[in-house]
Structure formats: structure tokens, C-alpha cells
Amino acid sequence: MIRLLIVEDSALMRKLLGQIFTAEGDFGIAFARDGAEALKVISSFQPDVVTLDIHMPLMDGLACLDRIMLEHPCPVVMVSSLTEEGAEETLAALEIGAVDFIAKPGGAISLSIDELAPRLVEKVRMAATVRIRRSRRLAERVRLTQVIPSQSTIPSRGRGLTSQQRGRDSSRSGLVLIGTSTGGPPALDAVLAQLPAGFGWPVVVAQHMPASFTGPLARRLDKICALTVSEVSQQTKLEPGNIYIAKGDADIVISSRAGSLVAMAAPSDQAYRWHPSVDRMVRSAMKHVPATDLVGILMTGMGNDGAAAMADLHAAGGYTIAESEETSVVWGMPGELVRLNGASEIRRVEDIGSALLDRVC
């Protein structure tokens, strides 16, 4: 039996969510109307998972989440709106320690709850398997302090590396492809903030997210990275010194135009389950870039998106890195890459950036 605490100020939403999980047959459910009540219920109910609305009276979801992670660490799935404001708050929640999020569909929730239900149940079941260590919050703060430079220490954009700093043949060019899902935004923080302004290869990222979330994600990363970070919403030339975030609810495809590599947002291909599809991104890149000039990185995420394509990339001579089980929120995607013998290296998340710098001039 999975003990689930639903924290939601809307009586209708509490009722509908309760019906969804009651119908599953293996959930024990408790409810709270706001963050303050949730903290009282948690201490006695000891939930395996909490679903937490962001906008609530008395104590909002972010304040409640902060208290949960400090006082009663347990897996939390945020319930967010699809607005830009909702995206910003959700990204903040993931940084604080939420395991995952689900975006409420637009319109009358009573009419669209059937659309929400399967994904919500899947995410909550996954979250129930995550073990949050009591020390995790402090460890995450220390890690981020060590890994992510302050604004005063981020190298100026456009500043090139010296030949000595580059180490290897500086004329070599290529492309870095990163795929991630559940737990991805904090992992991207840790990896991408380590790359200096003179990093020689473009970086393309496919993070499973709705379309309204990937723009705020790109802007947030742009503030903490030495490289320029942008969302790909139209055909975009891939250039060194840049990180390109795939637009949500679509796929990103790598192609060649007039002798230059470009990235394009393409309608999501239903042959792939998750979007933006990591598999599709990697396979499209392999059509236009020699495998030896590609680095694939697969990090935390539910499912297996990207594993087969990166295993093929590895077999063709490309270099691939899988995030370790120790630091992954969910060792689904990188774990599948390891199972397929497709990982050149397995690295803790805080070590992936340095491994990438060792590999790329």
C-alpha cells in the first residue's frame, strides 16, 4: 500500500484526485487543504509520496516544500499550472527538492481530469520508489555551491580559452547531445554551469517538459551559465559558445543547411513516447555528424528515451556518458544505456562536466 498525501486547496480537485488514486486500489490517501495543514498531517500519516499544489492560502506550495525537505524529507510531486509563472515556480520547486511535477491541463479540470490521470499515477508510482535521504537537502545545497559559480565568478561570455587551456587539437569540431527527464533541471544546473565561455562545441539539450516550461528553463540556465542558453523554436544555426534547449511538446532535429549544422523544432513524432525525444535528436545528429565527433550524455529520467540511440552512437565510435545510479533521481534512462553496454563512462552528476571538458577541446 502506497501512502499518498494530496495537498490541494480546491475541494473539487481534492475529490477528483482522490477518486483517481482510490480507483487504483493500492493507495492509502490523506488530504490537506494548505501547506500548514500538510505539515501537521505528514508527521502523523508518514506519507510515501506527497502531491503538492503550488498556489494555496496560508502557506503556499514552495514554502511548504521547503519545510518538508528540511523536516520530513519524502518524495514530492508538484501540481502546477501551464502558465509561465507556474513554470518558474515549478523550476524553483525542483531546485528545492521536488522529485517531479505534473502540469494541470487547461480548461475545466473536471472535464480534463481523464487526460491528467494516467501520467499523474505513473509519476506518483515512480516517486514512491525514490528514497530521499535526510541529508539530501543539505548535500544538494553544498553540491550546488561547489558546482555552480556565482554571477561574479562566471567567465565573461565570448572569452575564448587559450591553446593551453584547450589542451587537445583546437581545430576539432563536434556536437554535445544531452538527454534528461525526471530530476533533470537540477542535473542540468550542475553540468552546464561547469562549462567555460570558450567551450568549443555547441550543446543541444532534450529535457522532457511541456512547451510553456522550456523557455523559462532556458532563461534560468542562461543566468547561471557562462555559455549563452536559448530555446530552439525555429531553425537555428548551431555555434560554439551556445547551449540549445529543445522546445517542449515538440521534438528537436539536427540537420545541415548550407554546410552548417542547424537545430529545428519539429512536430512531435508519435513513434516516440517522450518529448522532446532524445532518441530522435541523437539519431538525426548521427545522419549529419560523424559518430566520433559526437558526445552523448544521458542523465536522470524515467523510462528509456535515448538509451537505444546512444548505444548505437557508442557502437559507431561516439563517446557516451551515463549518470550514475547514485546521483540520479530515477536511474531509468541512464540505467538502460548501461544495461545496453552503451556507456563509455558512468559518472556522478557533479563529475560529468569535468569529463566533458576532458573530452572536448
Q: How far, in Å, CA of 202 to CA of 261, rounded? A: 10
Q: Is 110 a catalytic residue?
A: no
Q: Classify strands 236-237 and 228-232 as parallel, antiparallel or unpaired.
A: unpaired
DSSP letters along 52-98, please? Answer: EES--SSS-HHHHHHHHHHHS---EEEEE-SSHHHHHHHHHHHHHT-
Catalytic position from the list 53, 81, 100, 208: 208
Respond yes or no: is residue 288 known to be catalytic.
no
Point out the catalytic residue in the list 305, 314, 324, 351: 305
Q: Residue 7's beta-bridge partner residues?
A: 32, 52
Strands 260-267 and 250-257, bridge-based pairing: antiparallel
User: Please, are residues 244 and 204 in contact by the beta-carbon 8 Å criterion?
Assistant: yes
In angstroms, the CA 124 to CA 114 distance is: 16
Q: Give catalytic status of residue 26 as yes or no.
A: no
Half-sphere exposure of 152 (CA within 13 A, CB side): 0
Residue by residue, DSSP assigns 28-54 as EEEEESSHHHHHHHHHHH--SEEEEES
Catalytic residue among 81, 181, 212, 324: 181
Among all residues, which ones are annotated catalytic? 181, 208, 305
